[in-house]
Amino acid sequence: MVCLGNICRSPLAEGILKEKIKIQGLDWEVDSAGTGSWHVGEKPDRRSIAIARQHHINLTDQRARQLKATDLDSFDLIIGMDRSNRNNIIKLSTNAQQEKKIHLIMDFIYPNQEIEVPDPYYDRDGFEEVYEMIDKATDAMIEKLGRD
Ligand code: 4NP
Check residue 148 and give its pLDDT.
63
CATH code where residue 71 lies = 3.40.50.2300
Helix (H, G, I), strand (E, B) or coil at 2: strand
- Is 37 touching ligand 1 by the criterion CB < 6 Å? no
Check residue 125 and give its pLDDT.
86
Taking CA atoms only, the protein residue closest to ligand 1 atom 3 is 4
pLDDT along the chain (148 residues), means of 10: 98 98 96 98 98 98 98 98 98 98 98 97 92 98 88
Neighbours of 38 (CB within 10 A): 12
CA 15, CA 35: separation in Å to the nearest integer?
18
Check residue 123 and give its pLDDT.
85
Taking CA atoms only, the protein residue closest to ligand 1 atom 12 is 5
Range of the domain at 19: 2-145
Let me know how long the chain is: 148
CA 16, CA 142: separation in Å to the nearest integer?
12
Ramachandran assignment for 74, one of left (phi > 0), alpha (psi -120 to 50 degrees), beta (any other) = alpha
Number of domains the chain contains? 1
Check residue 37 and give its pLDDT.
98
